[in-house]
Structure 1
Amino acid sequence: MDHLACFKPGDLSSTSAPDLTSYRWRLLAQGDSWFSTSAAKLNAHANLLQEMVFKDPACAVNCAGSGEALSHMVDLESAADFVSLLSDDGAPVWDGVLLSVGGNDLIAAAQTPAHAADGSDVPLHLRLIRHQTEWGAPSAGVARYFSEPGWQTYSDYLRTNVRHLLTLRDQGPSAGKPVFMHCYAVPMPRPAGADDSGLGASGPWLYPALKAYALPSADWAAVSRLMVFHLAQLLKSMAADKEQFPGLHVFDSTTVPLAPATPGTSGSSGDWHNEIHLNHSGCFKIARAWSEHIEAVLSGVKTVEPVRKRP
């Protein structure tokens, strides 16, 4: 098993440019902080790509960059390298595209307050959590805190933008190639930001949002689980819709057993480096399982391609 060789877009035009043809699998990657190449994040072993392994030599050109801030999946204006390498006529032919998207957008939606700065109410369709006066019946469990109208808005947003990314793929030389997305693991809302690890003055993320909404702390873990499982179900339903999302493959990370962080802790705990980022052991567990899923799909693609050729 070989580790995935990771390159940056600039490496392709350098004097010592890598020979991509020496790898059996050539992948293009774009994503949020789980793919970040920030030195601080790499030192914390918080990059999934660095932990991926394949039976055959594989490489990835990672366009996620070194930014430390949370990035949103539709910020393609600042992802010119990714768009060019995916859709330009002269771009390489990639065997697949790796995407780590949707998680930061989910966090941002959960952070949306119930009231705007001017004191006016933020409508339910623009936020994921209900104010205390809007809670449903206790018999609904933690779902009584959840804004279904807000979830519909988020779902429409994610579906629209994943379709856009697939359209970009089909405009270039890699048309029809598989696109791989992962679901996310369930974080424990806790006061564990990135400040103590050199990752920038950010976080915690869910912890202050749930406190601001006055949700009972005993329900925080279940609320986090509810949101992450909603996202996993959404992503898997998209992958199952081959007409709207052709070539999309989703790996359900929620099925990978992880050691949860201890509630109330502020540093690395269990398989988590901070509140929403995995540490070395967490990345190792998810990346190894996702690698198997990806290589199985890629091998299947390779074996069926000759059948499509005409005599």
Structure 2
Amino acid sequence: MESRFEHLVCLTPDEFKRRSELSNFRWKLLAHGDSWFSFAAQRVDAHANLLEELVFSQPTLAVSCAGHHNALRRMVDLEGAPDFVRLLDGEVVWDGVLLSVGGNDLVAAAQVPASLPSGEITPLTLRLLRKQTEWGPPSAGVSRYFSEEGWATYCEYLRANLKHVLSLRDDGPNKGKPIFMHCYAVPTPRPAGAEDASGPWLYPALKAYAIPQADWAAMSRLMLSKLATLLKACAADKDGYPQLHVFDSTQVPIAPAALGSSGISGDWHNEIHLNHSGCFKIARAWSLHIEAVLSGKPLVAAAPTGGRGRRG
């Protein structure tokens, strides 16, 4: 008999305070992260929310700090997220933690200009892209535009911050609880910003470094694939990153946006945010991985189906 899947019930920290009855939820999750998790009304209307498309075979609650106060912009901002830190270290014992982090840091690293305000060249250790005079041979493919020195700096930063998140978890009642992270789908660099006038993000960076437009899509895939490989390597290091579970979103078939498009295209609302169909595809696949860990059962092959998510 086919299981009946239910949408994740998402609450803000304030809504959670007012919720008196929690016994009907099989699993309770704490969530935090960037705009992929934010369900502030303007963000849900603007693009979509990965949390609201998660579904489980039993009633599941998530208290999301994403979009509450300021959306997470850097991993280190977790320290300045009072709701998240308080709830992680409070009286509630969560069944797991959902995190959407690392993507903004990657975008910020790609946006670092080749020259400092003083006119000096920015060291390669502090940027992800190379100027034309620094490009490698054509035989290297799009890797010729990429700063491995800068990538090493980024990797060191991300690993240190992940360890910090795990230490926050293990300093309180939620020690050893699973932390679930997703990777990011591969965006098409294009002139498609958000309704709040932010962005585009990768598009101006690649233009500033004079990277040929024909290589933009491959360059985006290189960077997002390297991030996915890094996150999965951390999760595979069970001693260094205990109970960290990473889902590789880059392997979910997502309809790409058309190069040069400026609005909704494929499964994308703007350059780096998915629309509802894109979130639906990734969340349905990720749900299976999360539930397999929470339930201690083997991962099932078929993805659940269903409509849009819902708030509590």
Aligned to 1:224, the other structure's residue is in SS state helix
Aligned residue in 1 for 2:300? none
1:231-270 to 2 correspondence within 5 Å?
A: 231-270=227-266
1:214 to 191, 194, 210: 210
1:87 aligns with 2:83: no
State how far apart, in whole Å, the 2-side matches of 1:238 and 1:77 are: 21
Please tell me whether the aligned partners of residues 33 and 72 of structure 2 are also in contact (alpha carbons under 8 angstroms).
Answer: no
CA offsets 1:95-142 (integer angstroms, 9 cap, x no match): 000000000000000000000122111100000000111001111000
Unaligned 5+ residue runs, structure 1? 302-311
1:143 aligns with 2:174: no
Specify which structure has the higher proportion of helix: 1
State how far apart, in whole Å, the 2-side matches of 1:77 and 1:238 are: 21
Please tell me whether the aligned partners of residues 35 and 67 of structure 2 are also in contact (alpha carbons under 8 angstroms).
Answer: no
CA offsets 1:70-95 (integer angstroms, 9 cap, x no match): 6111112431110111123xx20000
Please tell me whether the aligned partners of residues 6 and 62 of structure 1 are also in contact (alpha carbons under 8 angstroms).
Answer: yes
Identity of aligned residues (%): 68
Q: Please report how far the alpha carbon of residue 260 of structure 1 lies from its aligned counterpart in structure 2 after TM superposition.
A: 0.2
Aligned residue in 2 for 1:38? 40
Aligned residue in 2 for 1:286? 282
State how far apart, in whole Å, the 1-side matches of 2:72 and 2:295 are: 33
Aligned residue in 2 for 1:305? none
**RMSD of the alignment, in Å?**
1.5
State how far apart, in whole Å, the 1-side matches of 2:25 and 2:72 are: 31
Compare 157-166 and 19-28 and name the one that shifted more: 19-28
Q: Which structure 1 residue ranges, 4+ long, deviate > 6 Å from structure 2? A: none
Higher relative contact order (CA 8 A, sep 6+): 2
Please tell me whether the aligned partners of residues 262 and 269 of structure 1 are also in contact (alpha carbons under 8 angstroms).
Answer: yes
- Give the structure-2-normalised TM-score: 0.91
Aligned to 2:219, the other structure's residue is in SS state helix
Aligned residue in 2 for 1:22? 24
State how far apart, in whole Å, the 1-side matches of 2:276 and 2:175 are: 34
Structure-2 change in CA distance of 1:67 and 1:111 (3 Å) = farther
Aligned residue in 1 for 2:120? 120
Aligned residue in 2 for 1:308? none
How many residues were matched structurally?
294
1:152 aligns with 2:152: yes
2:16 to 4, 12, 33: 12
Compare 138-147 and 34-43 and name the one that shifted more: 34-43
CA offsets 1:216-265 (integer angstroms, 9 cap, x no match): 00000000000000000000000000000000000000110010000000
